[in-house]
Amino acid sequence: MKNNEQVYFGGDIYTVDDNNPTVPAIAVKNGLIVAVGTKEHCLAKLGDSPQLIDLEGACLLPGFIDTHIHPTLMIFFQLNSDLSAVKSMQQLQLILSDKAKGTTSNNWIMGLNFDEQNFTELLLPTRMDLDKASTTVPIIIVRKDGHSMIANTLAMTLANITDDTTDPSGGIIERDDTGRATGVFRETAVSLLLKALPLPDPMSIMQAGMSVFKHIISQGVTSIGMILQTDGEGVAGFQGAYDVPLMQELVPHIPINLYSLLVCKDVQIINKIKKSSLQQQNTVTSHKVGGMKFWADGTFSSCTACMITPFTDVPDSKGFLIHTHDHMYERMVKAHKAGEQIAIHSIGDECARVCVDLFDKLLKEYPRNNHRHRLEHASLLNPELIRDIARLKILVSTQPLFIKAEKKWLLQRLGAHRTQWTYAFKALLDAGVKVAGASDAPAEDVNILQAIQYCVTRDGFEPQQCISAAQAIKMFTLDAAYAQFEEHEKGSLTVGKRADMVILTSNPTAIDNNKIEDIKVLQTIVSGQNLL
């Protein structure tokens, strides 16, 4: 019979609890923390033969919480070609043509994680470029941000897309000077392609799902915030309608805590899914459906983020909003009045301004305490926006590793004045805003320790926005739990909370800032049970 009582001691125990920031020992009983303090004190709270776990100098922290993940997209990425290392058009075409040689015309080639910023000559491929790889197998490649796709001619034909196909609301089919579609699809236009894409077989999906969660656990993550589509709206297009059924199938095999934000138009959908396996609490894990999420704009890399002034290197573009103000507000009112949390994807500063103003209007017309509404990403802000976010008690869920991906070209795209306020972690925290950490996987890897290092060093990008390792850890623990209404259940090593913990080779607060990402995860513990 498994021992349900443990005492952890002999290491660097960092609690993220201001009342007891470091302690010599922690006692766990039936998956809950029952004592913190000296080893003797902890032993006194347990029975005669608890399991004694000597950390041997390792560091014990609360388990990491990643508040914004797209798990079904991560699964999809497992099943398709990774193009992240491609450095030239010729290399891209060679990889795709080789893949096509072993692919029948009934199957599609999908290349993921593509970033033309890695090309020596910055040039986004077109359908003509992909046709050189194959005209007999349909090909789609997806930009790293997931907000743009490029298709070859056959893929467009199979999706019934022609030069005369009109742009969908909130999306763009790019065209050349003659009006011919180039094969590049932005924002909601990607769904025109994805609806024709065949689904992988169920066994492959389940195997990939198990692999994805094994990786998440290996990074010390004990809880995730899942973004799940309920229909064709979202970066996964039509196939996003399978998000919820797929996760419901996977839930019995997922040993960590899940918090779902649903991309939907009606709160009745939220209420229905709350009656499923995505909303349950058992002896080990807790799963909750938190509210509604939607996209308001695009990304910097695709030049679809909605900006106050044009992009510095694309002066004829300010991006755009995916929905009208009225449409966004209508959704917000429905969710807010139903008591749900609202999370809005916002990258550009004009988008943030619109979202904050709509939240301001919402809270004036329908006052509600402790709403914890969120801006997802909040990539570009300014001092006035930050003051308003703090005043309205809006939370921010942000992705430090976006800095790693974008720092080499952000200055060119935004200009020196705006980059000062890009991923403005310090300014937000100084204003009193609760900031939760996330990866947006598969946009970035679920590598929490590397994300913490980028909070602390930013690899030299706008260093005035650097924060301490302690603040960064809190983003991925206690404040992340707060963003999910669960700060009384997890996020710190405090008596009464779940024993969701991670054991590391070193304490991120007591190591060279540039070596935080080199720390190894030794154990990932959920409710006192080691998952590694």
Query: Please, what are the averages of pLDDT over each run of 10 residues along the chain (532 residues)?
Result: 86 97 97 97 95 98 98 84 85 89 78 82 86 92 84 94 92 92 90 82 88 97 97 73 90 95 94 94 88 95 95 96 96 97 98 98 97 98 98 98 95 97 98 98 94 98 98 98 97 98 98 98 97 92
Burial-class residue 195 by CB neighbours within 10 Å (0-12, 13-18, 19+). middle
Model-wide pTM > 0.85:
yes
For the record, the structure tokens of 59 come out as 């560091």
pLDDT at position 284, please? Answer: 83
- What pLDDT was estimated at residue 108? 86
C-alpha 271/C-alpha 309 separation (Å) is 40
| 185: nearest Cα among 300, 298, 315, 69 | 298
Sort 167 into a burial class: Cβ within 10 Å, 0-12 / 13-18 / 19+: middle
Q: What pLDDT score does 105 carry?
A: 66
Rounded distance between C-alpha atoms, residue 234 and residue 410, angstroms: 25
Rounded Cα gap, residues 337 and 363, in angstroms: 10
pLDDT at 348: 98
Contacts of 310 (CB under 8 A, 6+ apart): 316, 317, 318
Q: 71-78 vs 243-250: helix axis angle to the nearest 10?
A: 80
CA distance 246 to 205: 9
Q: What is the C-alpha to C-alpha distance for residues 36 and 7, in angstroms, rounded to an integer? A: 10
Residue 110 pairs in a beta bridge with 140
Q: By the 8 A CB rule, do 295 and 144 touch?
A: no
pLDDT at 242: 83
Beta 181-187 vs 221-229: how paired, if at all?
A: unpaired
- Both tokens of 324, joined, read 């009208």
Residues 423, 465 contacting (CB under 8 angstroms):
yes
